[in-house]
A = this chain, B = another copy of it.
Amino acid sequence: MTITVVGSVAFDSIETPAGRQDRCLGGAATYFSLAASFFTDVRVIAVVGEDFGPDQESVFRTRGIDTRGIERAAGKSFFWEGSYLDNLNEAKTHITDLNVFAAFEPKIPDVYRDSQFLFLANIDPVLQRRVREAMPQARMVAGDTMNYWIHDHRAALLEVLKGLDVLLINDTEARSLAGNNNLVRAARAVLDMGPHTLIVKHGEYGATAFFSRDSFPSKEEGPDTHPFRAPALPLEEVVDPTGAGDSFAGGFFGYLASSAAAGELTPPIFRRAMFYGSVMGSFAVERFGTERLQRLSRQEIDDRFILFRELTHLD
């Protein structure tokens, strides 16, 4: 089934121990949609400036991604500059120029309105909620957020959470959203805020899915609702961690959407989706920006899925 994603499409200048790249194509919606495009059809809602040209457009088009929801505005695209020189797990932001993104008013093309899967990437929760309400047909809605919204826009964020099926955030964000340092208790508190499934991303240690009684409504609560942990691949070289979390989300949600046509989303499908999320995140960091996701085959994805299984399975 088709996914519509709303979020940022941006230019990033990135410095890591592996080198420096100026003005790579970036943004959460970009990484998400590229990763998801290996599994299902993807439609993007975003705003870009006059610096977004045919080269950038073709990155999406080559992957068959629908860009009719990418609005062109006068001015420059969202620009971010950051480095990971001290710590590959945490970016140090040098510049954030919102540019055309500052006045972003998501416009949903009519042709997008039958998307049953909706991903609300990390943007102002007021906009996330507006898009969610404008797409009432979406049967599964997932989203991301960040500490800034958790701390300074909590009320608006809590409204969004009520309408989410799946929330994907990292450890720090989960603990901070719940106000509890214990991950299990934090997860329970977050699940009480609305989402029936919480994915907590642990960076190089993988990700854990916490389920609630509502994750699989046709089943009684039982062993299937235990948490599930997908590993990350121990990598010899992380060239650029930017976009790893968004690529995880794209692989995860893309696989779910691709499986939905066949019927109910069962616990085994969620577990496979977690693995595909980790797989896509592991590719994303191998090159600067979106370079690796642009040059990736479904065969490579499936081979790495097998590697992830070998990394974690007893037999």
A120 to chain B, nearest CB (A): 26
- Determine whether the beta carbon of B238 is less than 8 Å from that of A182: yes
A202 closest partner in B (C-beta): B205
Asked whether B312 lies within 8 Å of A229 as measured between CB atoms, the reply is: yes
Determine the main DSSP class of A at the interface with B. mixed
Partner of A205, one of B185, B205, B227, B313: B205
User: Interface size class for chain A?
Assistant: 35 or more
Task: Please state if B313 and A236 are interface contacts (CB–CB under 8 Å).
Answer: no
Are B234 and A314 closer than 8 Å at their CB atoms? no
Does residue A208 face the partner (Cβ distance < 8 Å to B)?
yes
Establish whether residues A226 and B307, one from each chain, have CB atoms under 8 Å apart when the complex forms.
yes
- Pick the contact of A206: B205, B235, B272 (CB < 8 A): B205
As for how many copies of this chain the complex holds, the number is 2
| Bound Cα distance A275, B182 (Å) | 22
**In the complex, which residue of chain B has the Cβ closest to the Cβ of A232?**
B229
Residues of B within 8 A of A314 (CB): 268, 271-272, 275, 309, 313
**Chain B residue with the shortest CB-CB distance to A238:** B182
New contact pairs (12) apart from A182-B236, A272-B314, CB-CB < 8 Å: A182-B237, A184-B236, A185-B236, A187-B234, A208-B234, A227-B234, A228-B311, A228-B312, A271-B314, A275-B314, A309-B314, A312-B313
| A-B contact list, 21 entries, CB within 8 Å | A182-B235, A182-B236, A183-B204, A183-B234, A184-B235, A184-B236, A185-B236, A187-B234, A202-B205, A205-B205, A206-B229, A210-B234, A226-B307, A226-B310, A227-B234, A227-B311, A228-B311, A231-B312, A268-B314, A268-B315, A312-B312
By a beta-carbon cutoff of 8 Å, the part of chain A in contact with chain B is 88, 181-185, 187, 202, 204-206, 208, 210, 223, 226-229, 231, 234-238, 268, 271-272, 275, 307, 309-315
